[in-house]
Chain A
Amino acid sequence: DVKVTQSSRYLVKRTGEKVFLECVQDMDHENMFWYRQDPGLGLRLIYFSYDVKMKEKGDIPEGYSVSREKKERFSLILESASTNQTSMYLCASSPPGTLNNEQFFGPGTRLTVL
Chain B
Amino acid sequence: AQSVTQPDIHITVSEGASLELRCNYSYGATPYLFWYVQSPGQGLQLLLKYFSGDTLVQGIKGFEAEFKRSQSSFNLRKPSVHWSDAAEYFCAGLFGSSASKIIFGSGTRLSIRP
Contact = CB atoms under 8 A, between A and B. Distances in A.
Given A41-B106, A107-B43, A98 B97 contact: yes
B32 A98 contact: yes
B44 interface: yes
Given A45-B101, A98-B32, A40 B45 contact: no
Interface residues of B, number: 25
Contacts, number: 54
Contact of A101 (B90, B94, B107): B94
A47 B1 CA distance: 20
A105 B44 contact: yes
Interface on chain B toward A: helix, strand, loop, or mixed SS? loop
Contacts of A41: 106
A48 B102 CA distance: 11
B67 interface: no
Interface of B: 6, 9, 32, 34, 36, 41-46, 49, 51, 90, 94, 97-102, 104-107
Contacts of B101: 45, 48, 58
Contacts of A101: 32, 94, 100, 102
A42 B106 contact: yes
A73 to B, nearest CB: 17
Given A101-B32, A101-B94, A43 B43 contact: no
Given A41-B106, A42-B106, A106 B98 contact: no
A58 B98 CA distance: 16
Contacts of A50: 100
Contacts of B99: 98
Contacts of B94: 98, 101
Q: A35, A42, A105, A106 — which one has the most chain B CB atoms within 10 A of its CB?
A: A42
A40 B10 CA distance: 10
Given A4-B43, A98-B32, A98-B94, A40 B102 contact: no
A62 to B, nearest CB: 17
Nearest to B90: A42
Interface string A17-31: 000000000000001
